[in-house]
Amino acid sequence: MSALDRLKGWEIMMLALLCAIVALNSIWSPYFLSVGNIVNLFQLSIEKSIVALTMALVIIGGEIDLSVASVMGLAACVMAWTFHEGAPMPLAILLALAAGVLAGLNNAFWIARVGLPSLAVTLAGLIGYRGVARIFLEDRAIGGFPDWFNTLGQQALIGPLTAAILIFFLLFILFAIILHGSAFGRLVYVVGSNVQAARYSGVRVGLVKSALFVGSAFVAALAGILYAARLGSVRGDMAEGFELDVITAVLLGGVSIFGGKGNLVGVGLSLLVILNLRNGMGLADITGNTQNNVIGGLLILSVLIPNMWQDLRDKWKGRET
């Protein structure tokens, strides 16, 4: 089974799963198929979904970024603090994005320049950036953002879709083009599959990796700002623990943890599967704990079952010859 076949197989599996879940949800709860609920379905985890897009690129590139959730929190705290200190909101937002870029540059320096493993660096970042966020906000919560900001985060912008949902779709298309249709995207795959070969071929591996980490942090900062707008208030512990959900979504999307394999369509489908599953379970009053069980089981089975199926098919083939 060639890599392409396997990937297509993955998408088909995800699609089938999605249809099954949507069908079940509609049966379980009469509220599921309403426009309001579908919007909620996305809105409740929209920031994680946005970050999953760049996480997919990072993992395909053979690395990992554990610090995304802390960068989300950091950006939100920077924005809230500067706004509270009197800066106009647009400036506060810019500073928040700048903070994200700085964090990304920091990650890129230690990983691409010094050559430390990304797991170690972004683990330190997970702890450190959250710490910096705490320095700004300590034990306060800051709210009272301008109305336009809150409205942008909470109310629909075009039709029933909120700004965050629109941004998600735009970024999805953007990153799909980058990953699958541009030279940079090809470089990401090359660096992810065989970094040594890439180096010897003259690929500027350091630059590619730096771009990935800066991009990842920037998008995380953006997601943090959107999260603050949706919630209307910022605390030091915002988005704590989100990285696990993001990585789960990416892995469930068929992206290989070893790099070099996977595509954005799979990730998009896996996001849909997870969002629908959580929403359906939520409407059926199933607790978050059980939801985690189900998603965890799904993650394992999504790889285990195809493997076992593959084994069975090989055995049958063996018998025939």
Partner 1 sequence: MNWLKRRVRPEQIRELSLLVLIVAAIAIFGSFIDGYYSFRTFNRIASSVAIITVVAVGQTLVVLTRNIDLSVGSIVGFTAYFVGTLIANHNGINPLLAVVIATALGAALGVVNGLIVAWGRVPAVVVTLGTLAIYRGVLVDLSGAKTVTTDSLPEWLTGLPLVNLTPIGNLDIRPLFVLALVIVVIFQFGTTYLSFARRFYAIGSNPEAAQLVGLPTKGIVFLAFVICGALAGLGGFMFLVRFGNITVEAGRGLELSVVAAVVVGGVNIFGGSGTVSGAMLGAVMIGTLEQSLFRLGISEFWLDAVLGLLILLAVGSDAVILQRLRALWGGAELKLVTKKAGSVSGEQSAPRP
Partner 2 sequence: MRKLLMGAAALALLAALPQRALADDAMATPGKAVSMVLLPKFLGILPFDQAHNGAEEAAKELKNPTPLQFLGPTPQNSVAGQIEIVTNATTQGVKAIMISNNSGDQIVPAAKAAQAKGIKVVTWDSPIPSSEGEDVFVAQVDFSDIGKVMADMTLSITGPGGGKFAVLSASPDAANQNAWIAAMKTALKDPKYAKLNLVDTVYGNDESEKSYTQAQALVDKYPDLKVIMAPTSVGIVAAAKALQDEKLCDKVKISGLGLPSEMLAYTKNGCAPEFALWSFVDLGYLTYYTAYLLATDAMKAEEGAKFKAGRMGEFTITKDPTRAKGLRVLMGPFTVYNKDNVEAAAK
Residues 244-273 that bind partner 1 (CB under 8 A): 244, 247-248, 251, 256-258
Shortest separation between residue 237's beta carbon and partner 1, angstroms: 11
Question: Sign of the C-alpha dihedral, residues 28, 29, 34, 38?
Answer: negative
Q: Compare residues 34 and 290 and give the one whose CB is closer to partner 1.
A: 290
Q: How far is the CB of 163 from partner 2 (least distance, A)?
A: 14
Tell me whether residue 287 or residue 310 sits nearer to partner 2 (CB atom): 287
Distance, CA of 120 to chain centre: 20
> Between β-strands 161-162 and 156-158, what pairing exists: parallel, antiparallel or unpaired?
antiparallel
- Least distance CB 255 / partner 1 (angstroms): 10
Given partner 2, partner 1, none, residue 282, with its beta carbon under 5 to 8 Å by kind, binds: partner 2
Find which of partner 1, partner 2, none residue 297 binds, CB within 5 to 8 Å per kind: partner 1
Question: Which residues neighbour 43 within 8 Å (Cβ) at sequence distance 6 or greater?
Answer: 162, 164, 165, 230
Q: Which of 71, 55, 73, 77 lies closest to 103 in space, CA to CA?
A: 71
Are the C-beta atoms of residues 216 and 52 closer than 8 Å to each other? no
Whole-number Å distance between alpha carbons of 90 and 94: 6
- Partner from partner 2, partner 1, none binding residue 295, C-beta < 5-8 Å depending on class: partner 1
The residues, ordered by sequence, that sit 6+ positions from 264 with a Cβ below 8 Å of its Cβ are 53, 56, 172, 175, 176, 179, 180
Q: Is 236 in the site for partner 2 (CB under 8 A)?
A: yes
113-152 residues near partner 1, rule: CB under 8 A: 114-117, 119-121, 123-132, 134-135, 138-139
List of residues contacting partner 2 (CB under 8 A): 29, 31, 34, 36-37, 40, 43-44, 134, 138-139, 141, 143, 150, 154, 230-233, 235-238, 240-241, 278-279, 282-283, 285, 287-289, 292
